[in-house]
Structure 1
Amino acid sequence: MKYKILKCGLFVTLTVFCLGCVSGCSTNKKESKANAKQEVVQDIKASDAGMLVEGTFRPSDAVIESKEKYEYPFIGLSVELPKTLMSKMDKKEIAMLQDEGELENRSAISYAILHWNVMTESQKNAEVAKMGDGYSNWVNSLQRVGTLGVYHSNVIKKIDTLTGCTKHKEIGKSKDGKYYYYLSINPKADKKLTDEVLKIKVKISDMAPYEKTSAFSQLNKRKSIKNIGKFNVKDVHGKGYTEDIFKDSELTMVNVFATWCTACIKEILDLEKLNKEMTKRKVKVVGVVTDTLNNSSEDKEAINKAKVISERTGATYPFLIPDSKYFNGRLDGIQAYPQTFFVDKNGNIVGQTYEGSHGLKEWRKIVESELQRIKEKR
């Protein structure tokens, strides 16, 4: 399992995502420091990298906000909540959360679940560490009321375990017969609450083609953006960069991440190795730290954290601060971190977008695939 972190309001929501991710939260140094930095890379374990994400947050502030209608094109669901359930969500008596998984080969969604849970006063006010299993423990402590989900036929037998419920009502299935939709309730929960879940109105439509992103994402409007555009930015150490950063490489891997994203930080260790390995192939890595820019102003705290991450992980590739246009709009609307895409030497956005963290072996295969894609188009 690897991890992906989904943005939700002001905080982050972790979701089990069998890509290996949430499965859920994506500088040049002087030569005199090269040896010391190599030692840092060797000494820091991936399991320790998350120590760089400090502090706590309140999980109740990361729940899904109430609204009359939700649209989820990748699972073919339109959802309308009853007013009583929305009211309880607004009062933070009920927490609405999501969970999802992929098939092992990442070819399709395995399951995607919306779930509603009773939240006590102490759970509402609880704070947990951004690192570790505090958040997942908090979720597991909530009493499940009910769920609405879509399940691949391969996982139907596991529906009790996946939902935390034992009573299930089939409400539809996909045209190809591969997916089944269920409303489920926990009989041990308050009947008034489970009745509210059963009042949820659902409209099922054709599922949008899977883009290896979160099942709860919206359709990718960024696909229309073909070029990264012109820009003039600095990295977290103050060095300036323009779109010319791409000119000397056949392919540049742009890794978009945030300083609070544990999975992102762990991945940097492998990205640094990849960056060094691929130099001869004219492939390089560039990091973009999204939370270093806040409402068009630089966030000094995030920049300082990014500096520490760069130094502690031994990253020699730049960590860029986005410009106010978010690189021609390419960074707009990103819902999950880390996210990685590729740019050719002319600034054209090429190949696929990859959400979630990956290991070194996986990245090697992905880079080879993207290089081959460029070669075939010539």
Structure 2
Amino acid sequence: MKLIRKVMMLGVVCLSIALVGCQNKTEALTSSVTIKDKASFKPMNETIDYKEDYVYEYLGLKFSLSQNIKEAMNNKSLVMLDSQSALNEELRYAFLSFNKVSRKQQDAVVQNMNEYMKWEKNLERSGTIGMYKKGMSKKEITELTQCTYHKKIGISHDGQYSYYISYQNDTFKRELEQCHIEIIDRLEENDNGFVLKEKKDLENTEVFND
């Protein structure tokens, strides 16, 4: 039987973000996960694939990754995921995250979205590339990204959003600085508010497919 790929949203889910000094903070967020039409699935199969260039026109971002990040993604020791603010509110943030994966996590199979969210939460965050509403504090960005340090890399052409790379240590900071990141004209988000689609998906892919 042919496997049907569905784009499913985690939706408006309040996730407790466990951070040093911020244990009681929560944030409604949305993430895209592609899931095969079957009862169970491997989260590793649903992470964002490595490719030479990524273009997120709703984020106003175009980037390519460093050689070391590329190699880590190809050998499955690092995965790329995405996250944005809840769909039922004004867009406050959206980012791509890089996360270390253990052998056990590589082999994990989950039965439902709750198990998937637990799997994702237990990954070790290395860094992020993201866009945040103008005026958002670094404390808020720390809570969202689960990263300790942040470096501003620009602002959107309309002046409404700031772009940051975030990281846990100087080693990954250097990797992010070796990525080629370009801020481009940002498309206005569509009616459903989902901004994590890449350019290749804009014309022929709906977020909520049957």
TM-score (norm 1): 0.44
Deviation of residue 109 (structure 1)?
Answer: 2.1
Equivalent position SS for 2:48: coil
Deviation of residue 74 (structure 1)?
Answer: 0.7
1:63 corresponding residue in structure 2:
47
Deviation of residue 195 (structure 1)?
Answer: 2.7
Q: Distance in 2 between matches of 1:129 and 1:151?
A: 33
2:81 corresponding residue in structure 1:
97
Q: Distance in 1 between matches of 2:29 and 2:209?
A: 10
2:174 corresponding residue in structure 1:
195
- Which amino acid letter does the alignment assign opposite residue 80 of structure 1? S
Q: Distance in 2 between matches of 1:208 and 1:76?
A: 7
Counting matched residue pairs gives: 186
Deviation of residue 141 (structure 1)?
Answer: 0.6
Is 117-126 or 193-202 further displaced after alignment?
A: 193-202
Which of these two proteins has the greater Rg computed from alpha carbons? 1
Q: Distance in 2 between matches of 1:114 and 1:15?
A: 16
Deviation of residue 73 (structure 1)?
Answer: 0.6
1:86 corresponding residue in structure 2:
70
Q: Distance in 2 between matches of 1:71 and 1:17?
A: 25
Could you tell me which of 125, 128, 140 is aligned with 1:158? 140
Q: Distance in 2 between matches of 1:88 and 1:23?
A: 22
Over residues 239-267 of structure 1, what are the superposed CA-to-partner deviations in whole Å (9 max), with x where a residue is unaligned?
A: xxxxxxxxxxxxxxxxxxxxxxxxxxxxx
Q: Classify 1:174/1:72 alpha carbon distance in 2 versus 1 (closer, same or farther; 3 Å).
A: same
- Which amino acid letter does the alignment assign opposite residue 41 of structure 2? F
2:24 corresponding residue in structure 1:
none
1:147 corresponding residue in structure 2:
128
Q: Is the 8 A contact 1:168 1:183 kept in 2?
A: yes
Runs of 5+ unmatched residues, structure 2? 14-27
Q: Is the 8 A contact 2:87 2:194 kept in 1?
A: no
Q: Classify 1:220/1:95 alpha carbon distance in 2 versus 1 (closer, same or farther; 3 Å).
A: closer
Could you tell me which of 99, 115, 132 is aligned with 1:117? 99
Q: Classify 1:62/1:79 alpha carbon distance in 2 versus 1 (closer, same or farther; 3 Å).
A: same
- Which amino acid letter does the alignment assign opposite residue 134 of structure 1? E
Q: Distance in 1 between matches of 2:105 and 2:172?
A: 18
Q: Which structure is higher in strand share?
A: 2
- Which amino acid letter does the alignment assign opposite residue 195 of structure 2? A
How is 1:1-378 mapped onto 2 (pairs within 5 angstroms)?
14-15=9-10, 22=30, 24=32, 55-102=39-86, 106=89, 108-131=90-113, 133-153=114-134, 155-156=136-137, 157-187=139-169, 192-212=171-191, 213-217=193-197, 218=199, 220-221=202-203, 332-334=204-206, 336-337=207-208
Q: Is the 8 A contact 2:100 2:126 kept in 1?
A: yes
Runs of 5+ unmatched residues, structure 1? 1-8, 26-52, 222-331, 340-378
CA-based RMSD: 2.8
Q: Distance in 2 between matches of 1:150 and 1:70?
A: 15
Identity of aligned residues (%): 28
Deviation of residue 193 (structure 1)?
Answer: 4.1
Deviation of residue 205 (structure 1)?
Answer: 1.6
Deviation of residue 140 (structure 1)?
Answer: 0.8
Q: Distance in 2 between matches of 1:78 and 1:96?
A: 15
Q: Classify 1:110/1:214 alpha carbon distance in 2 versus 1 (closer, same or farther; 3 Å).
A: same
Q: Is the 8 A contact 2:81 2:96 kept in 1?
A: yes
TM-score (norm 2): 0.77
Deviation of residue 11 (structure 1)?
Answer: 7.0
- Which amino acid letter does the alignment assign opposite residue 211 of structure 1? N
Q: Which structure is higher in helix share?
A: 1
Q: Is the 8 A contact 1:69 1:80 kept in 2?
A: yes
Q: Distance in 2 between matches of 1:64 and 1:13?
A: 14
Q: Is the 8 A contact 1:10 1:62 kept in 2?
A: no
Q: Distance in 2 between matches of 1:169 and 1:79?
A: 16
